[in-house]
Amino acid sequence: MCVTEALIAARVSDRLHWQAFHRFFSRAKWNPDRLGQTLFGLLRTLLAGRWIEVAIDDTVCGKRGMHVFGASMHVDAVTSTRRRKNLVRGHCWVQLVVVVNVPWSKRPWAIPVLSRLYRGKKEAGADYCTKSKLGREMFDLFLTWVGPEVRVRLLLDSGYMGRTMLRGLPSERVTVFGAIKTNAALYRAPAPQGKGQRRGRRRKKGQRLPTPAKMHHDRRRAWEKVAIHAGARVQEKSILSLKAQWYGVLGERVNHVVLIREDEEKLRVVLCTDPNLGEQAIVEQGARRWPIEVWNRDVKQLFGFADSPAWSEQAVLRTAPWVALLSGILVVWFHRVYQRGMQVTLPQRPWYYWKEDLSFADLLRAAQETLRGVEVQTWTQAVVQQRPEVFEGTTEKKNAVGYRRTEGLEKAKAA
């Protein structure tokens, strides 16, 4: 997988010219999982800490047509509310992303490396597989890419905090940070059984605790206010910390549960499988799952993730994962040319004069400017055919196809 291919897609992506890629996607013999492993290898320069942060979530892409493979009815989380669930027909993609810090932005970024298509029960039939099972399959595959000495922090939404996803994870390597529902059944840790107590097997769980929803309105509990660093902002939150078992899901393991009071009505609950980690660190780590939501918005609005009219099985299973990988390669490419001194001027907007960080739109604009003047179709064919002379050739050939070599292109080649 080559950075040049990402730049080609970025150059074409005012909206990706899908028809130019469909024949390649449906006939080429390439494995998205292997390409994801290659992309993860390119992320080594951004993984400086002892931990690797991984988030799993899903997103819905609306599709039309009765013959589109894998299309079924899904809840649209963007337009739905608590009282009303809006359904949309289309594809639901379960994504595994690596969360990284970059020097040119204050917020963490999500880099997608694995994708799976979730198909509804009626459409999939005997091949039906839940979202949690797909997420667990991707995470088990991801663990084979990293050494046994590397620790992984898994960031999950409440929809993936269940037995299928959590049971059997290697606790010595994986620490889970996830949101749980406010009616979760929590228990105290069982007291150690001493001498002189009744016979029989020891207790596996302690006394049942009130649900987090009841603790929310219990004024007798000692809520404390702490300063939470969420991205570039510092917010003051009221939290309640306790050690508890989530026996129905995690068995006898003692976890650290933190209740976060947003207001008198809204409550968030974050569970961490490491009981020795502080409550402030748990809240901040749990908030680092949000970059995957930002990525979902950016690739749909700016990169055409949901725009492909592909309908055959091979094209559907390859096109969207390929676009997701290209968005990650684009971030890696920009990070490399940024380290080599590439400067991106921020757009001057009177209604957004305080903008300092670079966004995905800025990265995409930088790639488009780098490839401006390149004849895309000729370059695409040469890259697919792995012909190195696409960057060489005489001046006459370059002028004939409108090829213009820029300083940015030289940096892109070097990256």
CATH code of the domain containing 242: 3.90.350.10
Average pLDDT, stretch 219-248? 84
Average pLDDT, stretch 174-184? 94
Residue 85 lies in a domain: yes
Q: Is-contact 6 333, C-beta < 8 A? A: yes
Residue 274 confidence (pLDDT) above 60: yes
Q: State residue 396 phi and psi, 5-degree precision.
A: -65, -40
User: Which domain does 315 fall in, by range?
Assistant: 3-192+200-319
**Mean of the per-residue pLDDT values for the chain?**
81
Euclidean distance between CA atoms 161 and 246, whole angstroms: 11
Extract the tokens encoding 290: 């949000």
| Distance of alpha carbon 311 from the chain centroid | 25
Sign of CA dihedral 82, 83, 84, 85: positive
Residue 407 confidence (pLDDT) above 80: no
Residue 369 lies in a domain: no
Does the pTM of the predicted model rise above 0.85? no
What digits encode the pLDDT tens for the residues 292-331?
A: 999 999 999 988 888 888 888 888 888 889 889 889 988 9
What digits encode the pLDDT tens for the residues 74-93?
A: 998 888 887 888 999 999 99
Residue 268 lies in a domain: yes
Residue 109 lies in a domain: yes
Residue 19 confidence (pLDDT) above 80: no
State the DSSP code for 409.
H
Euclidean distance between CA atoms 205 and 139, whole angstroms: 29
Residue 393 lies in a domain: no
Average pLDDT, stretch 216-232? 81
Residue 388 lies in a domain: no
Split at pLDDT 50, 70, 90, the class of 34 is confident
The pLDDT score that the predictor gives to residue 1 is 37
What digits encode the pLDDT tens for the residues 340-364?
A: 887 777 777 888 888 888 889 888 8
| Distance of alpha carbon 391 from the chain centroid | 34
Residue 266 confidence (pLDDT) above 90: no
The pLDDT score that the predictor gives to residue 379 is 66
Q: How many C-beta atoms lie closer than 10 Å to residue 37's C-beta?
A: 17
Q: Is-contact 190 208, C-beta < 8 A? A: no
Euclidean distance between CA atoms 366 and 355, whole angstroms: 17
The pLDDT score that the predictor gives to residue 10 is 45
Q: Which of 190-194, 228-232, 359-363, 399-403 has the lowest mean pLDDT?
A: 399-403
Please name the residues in contact with 281: beta carbons below 8 A apart, sequence gap of 6 or more: none
Give the CA distances from residue 88 to residues 40, 60, 328, 383, in Å, rounded to whole numbers and listed in that order.
32, 8, 27, 37
Angle at 303 between CA 301 and CA 309, to 5 degrees: 90
Euclidean distance between CA atoms 386 and 382, whole angstroms: 6
Residue 156 confidence (pLDDT) above 70: yes
Q: Is-contact 310 70, C-beta < 8 A? A: no
Q: Are strands 151-156 and 174-179 parallel, antiparallel or unpaired?
A: parallel
Residue 27 confidence (pLDDT) above 90: no
Residue 152 lies in a domain: yes
Residue 411 lies in a domain: no
Tally of domains within the chain? 1
What digits encode the pLDDT tens for the residues 98-155?
A: 999 998 888 899 999 999 999 999 888 899 999 999 999 999 999 999 988 889 999 9
